[in-house]
Structure 1
Amino acid sequence: MADLILHHYPTSPFSEKVRLILGYKKLAWKSVVIPSIMPKPDVLALTGGYRKTPFLQVGADIYCDSALICDVLEHLQPTPSIYPEPSKGLARTIAQWADGTLFWAAMAHNLGPKGAAHMFAGAPPEAAQAFGEDRKAMSLNMTRLRPADAAAAYKSYLRRLSDMLDDQPFLLGQVPCIADFSAYHPLWFTKVRTPVVADILEHTPAVLEWMARMNAIGPGTMEKFDATSAIAIAAAAQPMAVGRGLLRDSTFQDDHGIALGSRVSITAEIFGPEPTEGELIAATRTHYTLGRTDERAGKVHVHFPRIGYALKAVAPA
């Protein structure tokens, strides 16, 4: 089995979600720190267009989106499970809510005027401007909550999480599951990256105690690595065969009338409009796989979760 290489940056909330799962499963991993904003030439050499953070590399296989990365880590190390029975379906549903609705309310609160000023205190004015322009481009045609509305929603969501913790240490029981890891990371950003607006957490002490339990899991065994070496690993490897890698389902599920082998593009439905183009290698009930070739990374397979991503045929040039 090739090394797990996580391409991330320290203050990325979705990266914190994955780092904690790596720690929970006691998996060793290599850390490639990537830029938080464009340009990202080393990222695009591997993904072909996708530029959100994080993504996971295993040899010449590139796994995009934290939801899919979680499935990969579960297949690689089934115990302890982040999808424990009998609440697996509920856990996934809460996680999807947390990665979307909760996350965007939290971040609109975090990055209001007070939080943004704290984030960029001491940085040149152009740094804040570049970050703002980058995230504006990523959220094209997306409705964003205003800070006041976000704060009201965030408080409500925190109370709901607190209610879930009335008589148990984690959201769905005695051990953490995917719901915990997904709900934790936007709150972690509030506390760690924008502490000047973290007083919102103080109204729910049960949530703060749960956050301390989650934080204690830690990120596991990490080794610093660099992007050039990661790209070289991809170039020297071959992508895993469909159905024999870390995504076990391989049955073709055709909901688009697009045949395997077609030239297609895959784009996130909400955030991050940059498409990735390639040959459709797999379209299963859970994921898409594109085959593509890069002059630096060689032949790679880029994998996306089915939920949250749009598949389209690309007309011949």
Structure 2
Amino acid sequence: MNPPLDDLILHHYPSSPFSEKVRLVLGHKKLPWKSVRIPPVMPKPDVVALTGGYRRTPFLQIGADIYCDTALICDVLEHMRPEPALYPAHLKGVSRVFAQWADSTLFWAAMAYNLQPKMAVQLFGGPEQAKAFGDDRKAMSGGMLRLRPGDATSAYRSYLRRLAHMTDEHDYLFGAEPCVADFAAYHPIWFTRTQVPPMAGILQATPSVTEWADRMAAIGHGAFSKLGSDDAIAIARAADPRPAGSNWLVDSAFQDDHGIPLGSRVTIAAESFGPEATEGELIAATRTHYSLRRTDERAGTVHVHFPRIGYVLRAADAA
């Protein structure tokens, strides 16, 4: 059984910045969705039942298809509802490049500034909760180089000025309408403004960025309803994963850059943050994405999808 094509389930939690990116995209495209609230830190047994190991937030579920990483989720939503466009024809290249910068360089500078120790304690409700969150993210970070607060503050100020050069000229970063670049740049600034408001003074020097952020916030999250994680798992179990080429990832031609044939047992993991691997049978490796088939005793057979950029594919016996 396949679900209705608009039966979108977002697994997220309220203070997750990358979740805010997708929530706003759903609102922008006026796509109704179901909200499953997941824990911000491990253990996450209901998450792992669906993803097989991937635990970054958020991920999108459509029946028995699981889409990981907000870059891929944006592609899926664009294919489902092309208008209003996240990737306007005249901005296809630059909007993707800018979004990748915003989701990485801007994001990490902003979050190193936002989550200085005094703010972490306030945000998470006490020193023990802040330590638990910090320990969880340290485990996800591996050997990543993290900016110290002073360096992060300097970088964030500089990036905000660069954004201001764009928002001084347009309502949105590249013109009169928002594109994927806006949603990618907005979510770390949203975190500064809404989750750690004592830190928001850094925005005072760039008033046009604040005005742009107000316009982004006004987009809203659209129409959604709450759903329990057990119910989401039951939906996956009752559904059939969609075949390659009909799963909102329209490119289906095999692109072999690894010497690993389809049907092989493989693992896929993020290059850096969140290195937990998902293992399964490789059923697609296209120019834009990978897809794995895996079976879970609770969720049944699911297809888990990842973007190529930012992820590492290995044969399972070499992982």
The alignment's TM-score, normalised by the length of structure 1, stands at: 0.98
Q: 1:60-71 residue pairs with structure 2 within 5 A?
A: 60-71=64-75
Q: Quick check: 1:314 aligned with 2:306?
A: no
Q: Quick check: 1:118 aligned with 2:122?
A: yes
Cα offsets for 1:4-48 (capped at 9, x unmatched): 000000000000000000000000000000000000000000000
Partner of 2:219: 217
Q: 1:1-317 residue pairs with structure 2 within 5 A?
A: 1-2=4-5, 3-120=7-124, 123-315=125-317
TM-superposed CA distance for 1:169, in Å, is 0.3
In the alignment, the residues of structure 1 paired with residue 117 and residue 151 of structure 2 have an alpha-carbon distance, to the nearest angstrom, of 14
Contact 1:114–1:196 (8 Å) recurs in 2: no
Q: CA RMSD in A?
A: 1.1
Aligned-residue identity in percent:
67
Contact 2:289–2:307 (8 Å) recurs in 1: yes
Contact 2:292–2:304 (8 Å) recurs in 1: yes
Give 1:87's aligned amino acid. Answer: L
Cα offsets for 1:253-312 (capped at 9, x unmatched): 000000000000001001001000000000000000000000000000000000000000
In the alignment, the residues of structure 2 paired with residue 177 and residue 209 of structure 1 have an alpha-carbon distance, to the nearest angstrom, of 17
In the alignment, the residues of structure 2 paired with residue 53 and residue 227 of structure 1 have an alpha-carbon distance, to the nearest angstrom, of 14
TM-superposed CA distance for 1:234, in Å, is 0.3
In the alignment, the residues of structure 2 paired with residue 157 and residue 126 of structure 1 have an alpha-carbon distance, to the nearest angstrom, of 32
Contact 1:118–1:196 (8 Å) recurs in 2: no
The alignment's TM-score, normalised by the length of structure 2, stands at: 0.97
In the alignment, the residues of structure 2 paired with residue 117 and residue 229 of structure 1 have an alpha-carbon distance, to the nearest angstrom, of 33
In the alignment, the residues of structure 2 paired with residue 117 and residue 291 of structure 1 have an alpha-carbon distance, to the nearest angstrom, of 40
Contact 2:53–2:277 (8 Å) recurs in 1: yes
TM-superposed CA distance for 1:167, in Å, is 1.9
Q: Unaligned stretches of 5+ in structure 2? A: none
In the alignment, the residues of structure 1 paired with residue 105 and residue 63 of structure 2 have an alpha-carbon distance, to the nearest angstrom, of 33
TM-superposed CA distance for 1:113, in Å, is 2.2
TM-superposed CA distance for 1:166, in Å, is 1.9
TM-superposed CA distance for 1:124, in Å, is 4.3
In the alignment, the residues of structure 1 paired with residue 246 and residue 313 of structure 2 have an alpha-carbon distance, to the nearest angstrom, of 23
Query: Matched residue of 1:86: which SS?
Result: helix
In the alignment, the residues of structure 2 paired with residue 66 and residue 28 of structure 1 have an alpha-carbon distance, to the nearest angstrom, of 17
Contact 2:266–2:280 (8 Å) recurs in 1: yes
In the alignment, the residues of structure 1 paired with residue 169 and residue 17 of structure 2 have an alpha-carbon distance, to the nearest angstrom, of 27
Q: Unaligned stretches of 5+ in structure 1? A: none
TM-superposed CA distance for 1:316, in Å, is 9.0
